[in-house]
Structures are given as C-alpha cells and as structure tokens.
Structure 1
Amino acid sequence: MTRLGRWLALDRQRGSLFLWVPVCLGCGIGLYFLLPVEPDRRDWLLLAGAIGAGAVALAAGLWHWPLFGGLLLVGIGVGLAGLRTDMVAGPTLDFRYYGAVQGRIVTIDRSASEKTRLTLDRVVLERTDPARVPLRVRVSLHGAQDWIDPKPGQTVILTAHLSAPEGPVEPGGFDFRRMAWFDRIGAVGYTRTPALLIADAPDGQIVARLRTRIGAYIRATLPGETGAVATALTTGDRSYIGAVTMETLRASNLAHLLAISGLHMGLLTGVVFGALRLVLVAVPRVALRWPTKSLAAVGALAAAAFYLALSGGNVATQRAFVMVAVMLTAILLGRRAVTLRAVAVAAVIVLCLRPEALTEPGFQMSFAATTALVAVFRWLRGIPGLPRRGILGWIVALIISSAVAGAATAPFSAAHFNQIAQYGLLANLLSVPVMGVLVMPAAVLSAVLAPIGGAWIGLWLMAIGIDWILGVAHWVAGLGGAVIAVPAPGPAALPLLAVGGLMVMAWNGVGRWVGVIPLAAAAGLWMVHDRPALLIDPGGSLVGIMGPEGRVLSKPRGAGFAARVWLENDGDSADQPTAAARQGWVDNTFAFAGQTVHHVYGRGWEARARAMCTEQTIVVTTGDLAGTGPCLMFDETTLARTGAVAISRQHSGIRIKTAIGEASRRPWTGYKSPDQAIRGEEVGDRIAAAMP
C-alpha cells in the first residue's frame, strides 16, 4: 500500500483535491438517476442523517478527508438531485386531450419537421380540473398560421391534441419524459388550426420585447440565412435557420457556433474586457489612479449578464455565464483566471443549480472541452521553444486548441448524436478565428453604435464573417466521407470515459496514467456493444429487423421519429425510405430466428392478423385483438403494457426486453405504484416464456 501510495503520488494531490469535488457530486447525481425506485421520505431522512453525521465526523477529525469527504459529497449529490426533482414537480397529463388550450408563450423553437413550436405556461385546458393541468405544454403549429407573429410573453389560444411526453422508442433508450420533467413540460402535442392572440406581451417584459425588435431588425438588414444566423448569435433564436443550413453545419462540426455557449460568451467578454482596458489605459489619469484591470473585468461581467438576458437564458448560456463569471471574479480577486480550479468551481455551481445537467450533452461537451484545454495548455507551459507570442504563437495556439477541443468532445458527440464530422478540425480552423476576430467584435460594435443609428455597420461586418463560415460549412460538408455514422455505445462507456479522462488530466504525478485503464475499457465496451436484432415501436406502427445491409424497416413512412432514432443508434446513415427498400420484408413478412414476423396494418387488418396468428409466428399490429391465440401477439393492449420492444438473438434462442420492464419507477416515468412497473416486467417475462 505504501508503494502504491507513492506511485500514485497521494501526497502531491493535496493542492488539487478540490478538482474532485464536482466529480464526487456528479457521481452522486448519476447514482440518483440510476436508482430503480424513487426514494421515499424515510430514505431521504436516513440520507440527511448520514450526511450530517459524516460532516460532524469530518469536522472533528474522526474521518480521513480525501476518502470519507468524497463519500460525503456523493451523498450530497444524491440529495441535490432529489431536491431538484421535487422542486420542478408538476402534473403530467394522464389522458389524451383534444380541445382548447390557452397559455402564455415562454419559448419558440422548431420541431424536427421544421414546424414552429410553442412552449406555453399558465396553461388552461377546457373542462379539465386545474389540479391535473400541466405547468407547461409544448405544441407544434401545423397548417396555415398567419394569424399571429408569435412572441414570448403573448397569451394565445388554440385547439390542440395533447398527450403525455412519450417514453423511449426502444428499451433502455433516451427517455424524453425525464427531460420534459425537468423542463416542467407535462404534455406535448400539435394543432392544425390557427393559433389566435388573446393578449400581447405585457409592457413589463422589456428584455423579451428587445429580443424581438433586435431579431426583426437584423433579419430586415441581413436577409436570408445570413440574417437567421446573426439572429441566433445575438438573441439565441435559432427558429429562423433552415433545415438544410442546420444539417450542413452539423456535418461540418460547426453547429456549436450557433449555440450561445462558452465560445460566444468567452469571445464577447474577451472583446469587451480588452476594449475597456485599452480605453481606460489610454487615459493617463485613470490608468495611474484606478485598477483598470478590475474595472474592465466588472464591465465584461456586466456585458456577459446582459448577453445572458438578451439570449433568453437557456441552459447552455447559463452554464457559459457561470464559467465566465467565475473567471472574471478570479481576475477581480487577483487570481489566475484560467485554471482547473476555476473550471471546477463553475462545475460545482452548475451541478448545484441544475443537477440534471450532468446527463445532458451540452454540459458534458462544454466541460470536457474546457478541462482538456486548460490541462493541455498547462502542460505546454513547460515545453521550451514553443512559440507563444506574435502571429506564429497565435496560429499554434489556434491549431492546438481546435485539435484538443475536437478530440475532447468527439466521444460525447458521437455517443449522443451518432456521428463524427471527419473534417471538423479543418472546418473549425477556418471558421473559429473568423468568429473571434470578426463576427463577435462586429456584434459588440453593432450594439455600441445602435443608439446613434449605426448598428448596420456592425451587422455589415458581421455578415462578411457569417457568409465565410456558411461557405466553409457547405464546402466541408460536400467533401467525400464528411460524416461518419457511429453506433450508440453501451450505458457504461461514457462514465468510464469521463473518469479516465479526468484522471489523466487532473491527477498529479505518474498515477494519472491509471486513467488509461477506464479509457481502454470504455473503447472496448463501445466496440462490442450489440444492437437489438428486432425492434417494435411503442405504437406497433413500425418494425425494424437487422439484415445483411443494416436494419430493414417495415414501412417507408410513419413513426418517423422511431425510425430515425433506431437507424442513428445503429450507426446507419440511411433514411427511412432507403431502410424500408432493403431486402427482407416480403408482403409485410420477415423470417427471423426461426420465427415468421408479420406486421399487419391497414384495411382488413383484423382478419389478416387472426389468420397469421399461428405457432412460430410473431404478429405486430396497431389494432386491439382480444386473445392472442397461439402466436406471439404485439397488439395495442400488449404494447400499452410493454412500451417499445427489443428482441435479441442468443445462443439459446432469443431475449426479449420491454421499455416498461427496463424503466425505473420514477416521477417522470408515470409509474406511480410498484404494481404498474411489475405488470410491465411480468409482460416481458410472459412473452419470453412463450418463446422457444
């Protein structure tokens, strides 16, 4: 143990133990989200007692700080996540609703089908008990919607179809219900009738009105996609950007330039800080009597706060503001701004305020990039002869930062979005400097000149940079093999990757290379993770079976979201019509693992389904059949109790998983009593027992 302690350099970790505070908090938060059942009041009281006793023991010196302090932080992380879950709790619609919906517009965005989508609060549902009405609903606007120009703060009424947020489209997959729970969205749906304005935004919503006016002015001055991108960069409203442009930016790994996150907040505050300090230093009386560096930091912090409010204050922007605020505060206190400790402080604040952020790709990618950049440039400070000043030093720093940030975020991007932009480094090298040198300074210039009517000058300069970035995106996306599809990893891959990466970057001494072990384990688990051979969507309207060319879908249209998710998780870049045209399905029938799978839908479905329900067959249908017969029947009633179904081949036969059987009994899943989840598990067991 003594040798191991020396090799791990435990005595050298004293000064960097704080770096592991957010790691321990994150472990506790992750543990909370892995629990199969929501803790009850007794469990929370026991946890609170254990935390209190542990804190007293640590304060009295009875426990060793590094080990037991870490365990205490894990417990605090569990408690923070549970507290946040209770704070955002609200009703979830437990029935299908069709009727009038009234509410105030909170946010406006676009759905995957390019439809305008409104998130409403202060919701009123016709003939519905207020106690059952969700705190927020999200509605997609279909059909002609020319009656109003939606703006945040307006009160609208529309006739909509609403239902509870849907569960995963495959067992163990992404559960939209959890994300909706923490966004306080208790129902989602759509309307095909016009949305009507009841009341305009109140006069008190100055920031919302300012956002709307700025966005309208930018789009009037810079038409087309250039104006849409400029609006996104200044106000955070991406709803005007076309689907083709978004796909091009994703394929070139430049979509992150649209999200107002750490890059934009850092560039903005850097420009403001540098400009203010230059102006203050230029006045000798001020430069000799006042702390110009601190004054510039205060001004940059005020600019960052204004940018946060103007952009709508989404989660990514809040996280970026916290990171920038921590670093500017370090400048005010006379400390080094860019350190791993500053990154750790920002992570602790974000996790305390929004524990659920740990599971989101934005949090994972932004802190992975920031941590890697700080660690790498700290290591590079000890390398002699490396250019650090002038144009050459700037070019070297740009190349290194782009490569490091791309490498740090690539695994998380691949895991969440199932693709890697092969030429992303090239696109970022050609675009990020333009963003920093031209686009963001021009945005600041436009804001400064706006009171005297000169905003158009900044926007004109901004347009030059945006057009360059869009041109780079189109060129890179058009290169052969620009996008590589990647299959989804197993559930343990990303946690192992994070632990290994943090060990390598934050541990002092040779012991950091222990982190290579979990990194290798994550890569190995990712490569050997198998995808289910057969998938059935929760409504029974789509079946996908793995064939020699990839997954073969039973229909070229319908259940498009499930089809897209299945193919993306397979690492398959094909679209639904292409996947449906592959060989395998013949007259809605597929031979699978010694069984015959029938997907029955359309006119005369009931008679055909009953005729096909024989031994050694699997029948999937959207209808409801009383009694299953000798076949394995997935009809409306069965799927309502199982959710999505996944069937995998095994040496002894097949293994069946159901979404409800895999789900935990948590507030966001809707399984409020143990019996509901047990029935779902029993359905899965009964199905498995019925198979040979």
Structure 2
Amino acid sequence: MESWLEAERDQLPLWLPVALGGGVAAWFVLPNSSAWHAALLGAAALALLALAASSAGSRAARVAAIGSIAFAVGLALVWLQAETAAAPVLARPAIATFSGRVEAMNALPARGLVRLRLGDLEWLDRRPPRAPLQVRVNVAEEDVPAGLLPGTRISLRARLMPPPPPAVPGAYDFARVAWFSGIGATGRALGPPEILSGAVAGEPFRARLSRHIQHNLEGSAGGIAAALATGDTGGIEEPDQEAMRRSGLAHLLSVSGLHITAVVGLTMLLAARLLALNMRLALTGRVPLIAAATAAVTALGYTWLTGSEVPTIRSCIAALLVLAAMAMGREALTLRLVATGALVVLLLWPESLAGPSFQLSFAAVTAIIALAEHPAVRRWFAPREESWGRRLLRNGGSLLLTGAIVEVALMPIAVFHFHKAGIYGALANIVAIPLTTFVVMPLEALALLFDTTGLGAPFWWLTGQGLSLLLWIARTTAAAPGAVAALPAMPAGAFALMVGGGLWLALWRTRWRRIGLIPVAVGALWALATPPPDLLVTGDGRHLGVRLADGRVALLRDRAGDYARDMLAENGGSDAEPVLLSDQGAARCSRDLCRVDLPVGDRTWRVLATRSAYLVPVGALIQACRNADIVVSERRLPRRCTPRWLRLDREMLARTGGVAISLSTGRVDTVIRPGDAHPWVLAGMPILPGRSTNRWRKDEQPTFRPEKAFSPLPAGLRPANQE
C-alpha cells in the first residue's frame, strides 16, 4: 500500500474534497442526531487509531487520519448550517393577510407570474400557527402593481402552504431546499398586492438588463438570451425548457464553466490586443498579466450579475485559479483546480452537495479534465503537422469523445434526480456548444454594446437567428425516437456505488484505477434491475398512479395538474403521456370511487381508491374495502374499512408521506423514513394537541407503525420493506 500511495502521491490531495463531501453526504443519509454523533466519534476514533498504529513516515496513516478528519468536518459543517438556518415553518395551509418587504423578485413571463420572496412579515389578521419569517409568493403578472421593486413593502392576501416534501419516494424535495433558504411557506397571492412604502434603491441592474434583452428578443429566444447574460431563465417557455432537458442541452441555461470560459477568453483576447498597442507595455511583457487581471475582474462581475449561483461560483473560482496559474507560468487546467473549487464551495455551502446543480457541474468538469490528462488521449489528439482535413477530423473526434464521456458521467446523476437520461446529447452538444460560445454570446455582447448608441438592432437580429438554430437543434433532438431513456427512482445505494467508482476511475492514475469499473458496473446493474413501482400514492392521498402492462402510468383523477402528471409519470419510469385510469378496461370507476384489478405474476390485486370529496355510504364502503387488497383515500376511512393487505388513508399518509408499492415483491417505500429527524422533516410534522411550537421532543415524534396499516399478507408474499 505504501508503494501504491507513493506512486499516487500527486493525486492524494484530490481526495480531500471527496472526504469532506462524504461527511456531508453521511449527514443527509443518516437519520438523526444519535447517528450523526456516532459518525463523528467513529471518524475521530479512526483518525486516532491511524496515527497510533502507524510507523514513522507512514503515508497510509496520514491519508487515513486526514480523510477521517475531513469527513468529520464535512458532517459537522452541514449540521451547523442546518441549525443556523432554522426558522419557523408554517404548520398547515392557511389563507392570511400580511405585509412584508420584498427581498427578491423574479419575473417568470413564460408562466405569466412574478415570484416574490418576502421578509420582515407582519400578520394583519389571525396569525397562523408556526408563522414563518420568510415566504415565497407567486403573483399573477397582471396583478403586479407599478413600482414594485426589491425593498418595497407591500401588503397582500395569499393562500400559504408549508414547503412541500417529496410527493412520492424519489421526487424533488423542496422542503429541504426551503429549509436551508429560510423559506417557511410558499403560496399564491389572491389579488393584487398593495404598496405600503417604496424601495430604498431603484430596480436592480440585473432585472433591468434581463427585461431589456427580452424586449429585443421575444419568446424562448429572449429567455435564453437573458439566461446567458443574467442567469434568469423565467422567460423560457416550458415546452422549450423540456426540449433542452431532453436533448442534453439544459446545461447551456445554467451559467457555469462554458459561459465563464467564453467571457474570460473574450475579455483576455480583447484586452491583450488593445494593451499590445502600447509600445512600453508590449516591451515589458506585462500585457498577459494585465489582461489576466482584467479577465479576473470581468469574471467576478459576471458572477455577481448572474446571481452568484453555485455552478457560477465554482466556475469563477476555477477561472481565477486558471488566470493565476497562467500569470505564474504554471499548467492551468488540472484536477487540482477542480478539487480546490469543490473544497471552497463545500466549506461555504455544504448543503449544495445534495443538489443536482453541484453534482452535474463538478462531474462534467472532472470527466473532461480526467480524459484530457489520460496519456493515450493526449497522444491521440496532440497538435501535430498534418493537413487541414486531418486536423478537422482529429478536432471533431476530440469533441465527440469528450461529449460522450461527459454524457456517460452525467447519466447516473440525471437518472437519480430526474429519472431521465438523454441519448443523443453528445451529438447535439457538438454543434450547440460552439454555436453558443463562439456565435450567440459574442453577438449578444455586441448587441448590448451597440445598444448604448442605438445601433444594436442588426446584432439582436443575428443573435435571434443563432438562438432559433439552437432551439431547432433542441426540439429536433428531443423529438427523435428514443431520445430519452426513462427509469424509475434509482436506489441510493446504486447511485453511491456509481459515484464512488467514477471518482476512483477519474482521480487515480495507476492501473489500480480500473477497480473503479466494478462498483460502477454493480451500481448500473442494480439500477437497471430495480423494477418500477406498480402503484404511486402522493402524500395527500389525492393522486394515485397505476403502472399498466404496456409501461404507461394511469392516473386516478381526470383533472390532475401538469406537475402531478409529470411527477407520477417520471417516478413511474415512463416517458409516455399519462392516461386516465377510468378509461382502462381493468378499471371500474364512478365519480366517487375507482376499482382496478392488476394481474401481477400468478395473482390479481384489487385496488380501491376514492376520487372525490363526497362521502360514500358507510356500509357500501366497508364492503368494498373488504373485497380489496389495497385501499387509498385522501380522507380518513372508517375503522371497519379493513382491506386484505394495506390501507392508506389520510391518517396513515400523514405518518408515511408519499408511498411507492411494488406488488411483485411486496416492497413498500415511503417518503418519511422511520426515525428520520432531519430538521425539515420535523418542521413539517403536525402540531400535537396543546402545543403551539415547532420544537419537538423525541417522545413526540410521530412514528409509522406498520401494524396500523398492514393486514396479514396474502399467502406466498413476504414484504421486503414496510417502511
């Protein structure tokens, strides 16, 4: 081991942010403070053991000790961040009248909404239980009063909801995101807000620039142009956003490495050419240094302008390190640069590790640089004396290989978070990335520059043509047969194996790196072998998704919203448009009840679900329950409603959250894990009688007791998990 570590000594620092991120990930995975304390003590014990048992100069002992300490620091950091972010969370839905100061304002013209974040709240009528300190409210575009700016104090009436947890296992967890953002409720305004006092400062430059761009370019083209300049994606219509996601081009909408590179490169080029006109500067050799400093200032300004999101900050840090390395005459693009950026982001925002933005951003850059540093790849694509045709083919092959490797690296992350993976993304990016970097962004910069003299119209027209071509590529790729592979929710263990194996492959340099292929293959096979759930029940009991024999998902309610339809289809592993359960031959539905028979293996399961708020006669409901294996309802069912296996009514779903059921194995997965004491989970629990606070003791935490919901299983079926 010492010999191997000696051979890999240049790669060892790359594992420091991995160990730090491992501690952060452990905090999210482990359920409660007892487990967190145990992990911290275990890491400290391992560090002390490594130091005590090591001989003098042992590199393995130092690696184990430093890695354990970094693991403990990561866990402690995210735990501290969660405690620091603690704020009241609304206990239950409420309609309230209140006043607040606009802290952030985000226009969503594609949806006809303006999203406001309000703080410094004062409740003008009855104070809701666990009144939040900050809320996020959507206001219809036509209801926005003139003069509404950040800093303005307004009053409004709104319907507020607690930040929603995942609707079903594997879905997006907005409650976790809201907790770290300090948002205690979300909702929609019921009518136009009233301005009580004006803003101290004028409209932010970012908002004015975004509006100016969308004024010159209409539709999704203007939304994409605004996203490239300010990071504001609210002007992109939803069908085009979906096309960008399906075609693998969604990364172009998030300001990250590609955009920072284009801005820094263009700035350095212009600055160097202009400074070289000065004879004294050109002869002293200071032109590259001054050009690099100018590019660094531009990178910082662009990061601030685009909202300082995590991918942008990561890219800005990387760009500054590259510029510093160039100024010192060192090699710039290395994995140490990526590791430094990851370390800075994790130290400042450890909770960002759980989001797809951080994972996708660092995975892509790590894959690109690890590929470029491989000796064989360097030999294949190194510059050499050759004809322009062979050079063009070599450069095209380099782009294609890079795109393919990036797609492979990002596929597990995309499937884990979005349950979809693009197939033709590498091909689409070969055209889309150069088009965006070398055509659209420079033209947009020229249009903004010439707008200062009123001569920007020709450049806006050219920018619009480039963006129209980009949208055509996205729509064509997304509509191609087999463009997207849809998979159900990936097990967390399979995802961890693929991520760990991928890091092992990318960060080591000796032949032992190939061992990483084993966990990658095991994780991939595990994910592919995981069957999609046969039933999906949302946490409120209103929506039921039934997977049909042909792979489509049938919905219980005829009027399910777009979010519910898309979410149930994605988590059911289907890319097809959901269908109505009432239209299926195996279902018998009335306005109030729906019964469906599902053949699975050698058994037919009968599922009964309520589909309206009207009460069914008790006698008929009880008899229907006894003839069913599973009963689902958004309201509390009578005690004598005893199905043959499982009852999921309002009372039980309040304890479990959304539920995914695999009938072939009897596996039942729930959103709320037994013993889960993460702060956003506890904050979302109902207030117990006689309490008015969101502080919970351990003996007050509701627990899911399976015997309350499950009847004895049918013969020959044993549940794998009754959480």
Normalising by structure 2, we get a TM-score of: 0.85
Are positions 1:326 and 2:321 aligned together?
yes
3-state secondary structure, aligned to 1:688: coil
Partner of 1:519: 520
Partner of 1:474: 475
2: CA distance, partners of 1:229 / 1:522? 36
Read off the aligned partner of 1:467 and give its amino acid letter.
S
2: CA distance, partners of 1:56 / 1:533? 51
2: CA distance, partners of 1:577 / 1:521? 34
Q: CA RMSD in A?
A: 3.3
Cα displacement (A) at 1:201 = 3.4
Are positions 1:635 and 2:649 aligned together?
yes
1: CA distance, partners of 2:49 / 2:70? 10
Cα displacement (A) at 1:527 = 1.1
674, 678, 693: which is aligned to 1:666? 678
Cα displacement (A) at 1:15 = 1.5
Cα displacement (A) at 1:369 = 1.0
The answer (yes or no) to whether the contact 2:536–2:660 under 8 Å persists in 1 is yes
79, 82, 87: which is aligned to 2:84? 87
2: CA distance, partners of 1:508 / 1:45? 31
Within 5 Å, give how 1:64-463 maps onto structure 2. 64-103=61-100, 104-108=102-106, 110=108, 115-127=113-125, 132-142=130-140, 144-145=142-143, 147-148=145-146, 151-171=149-169, 173-203=171-201, 209-379=204-374, 383-384=378-379, 386=381, 388=383, 392=392, 394-449=395-450, 451-456=452-457, 458-463=459-464
Cα separation, partners in 2 of 1:564 and 1:41, compared to 1, 3 Å: closer
The answer (yes or no) to whether the contact 1:236–1:260 under 8 Å persists in 2 is yes
Unaligned stretches of 5+ residues in structure 2: 686-695, 715-723
3-state secondary structure, aligned to 1:141: strand
2: CA distance, partners of 1:304 / 1:229? 20
3-state secondary structure, aligned to 1:239: coil
1: CA distance, partners of 2:502 / 2:267? 33
1: CA distance, partners of 2:109 / 2:604? 40
The answer (yes or no) to whether the contact 1:177–1:668 under 8 Å persists in 2 is yes
3-state secondary structure, aligned to 1:484: strand
* Residues 62-92 of structure 1: CA deviation (Å, up to 9, x unaligned): 9821122211111111111112112222111
* Residues 23-64 of structure 1: CA deviation (Å, up to 9, x unaligned): 111111111111111359977996897699799989997982
Partner of 1:606: 616
Partner of 2:13: 18
Unaligned stretches of 5+ residues in structure 1: none
Cα displacement (A) at 1:271 = 1.2
570, 584, 597: which is aligned to 2:607? 597
Are positions 1:622 and 2:616 aligned together?
no
Cα separation, partners in 2 of 1:560 and 1:77, compared to 1, 3 Å: same
* Residues 521-541 of structure 1: CA deviation (Å, up to 9, x unaligned): 111111111233222221121
Read off the aligned partner of 2:315 and give its amino acid letter.
A
3-state secondary structure, aligned to 1:64: helix
* Residues 439-465 of structure 1: CA deviation (Å, up to 9, x unaligned): 222334345445545555653443332
Cα separation, partners in 2 of 1:28 and 1:242, compared to 1, 3 Å: same
Cα separation, partners in 2 of 1:576 and 1:170, compared to 1, 3 Å: same
Normalising by structure 1, we get a TM-score of: 0.89
3-state secondary structure, aligned to 2:630: strand
Task: Count residues in correspondence.
Answer: 680
1: CA distance, partners of 2:43 / 2:521? 37
1: CA distance, partners of 2:372 / 2:613? 66
2: CA distance, partners of 1:450 / 1:286? 32
2: CA distance, partners of 1:557 / 1:256? 33
Cα separation, partners in 2 of 1:584 and 1:60, compared to 1, 3 Å: farther
Cα displacement (A) at 1:476 = 2.5
2: CA distance, partners of 1:14 / 1:76? 23
Within 5 Å, give how 1:540-619 maps onto structure 2. 540-550=541-551, 551-558=553-560, 560-577=562-579, 581-587=583-589, 588-592=594-598, 595-602=605-612, 604-607=614-617, 609-614=621-626, 616-619=628-631
Partner of 1:686: 708
The answer (yes or no) to whether the contact 2:90–2:129 under 8 Å persists in 1 is no
* Residues 296-330 of structure 1: CA deviation (Å, up to 9, x unaligned): 22111111111112112223322322222232233
Higher mean C-alpha deviation, range 301-310 or range 126-135: 126-135
Cα displacement (A) at 1:581 = 3.9
Cα displacement (A) at 1:343 = 0.6
Higher mean C-alpha deviation, range 341-350 or range 455-464: 455-464
Read off the aligned partner of 1:321 and give its amino acid letter.
C
Cα separation, partners in 2 of 1:146 and 1:64, compared to 1, 3 Å: closer
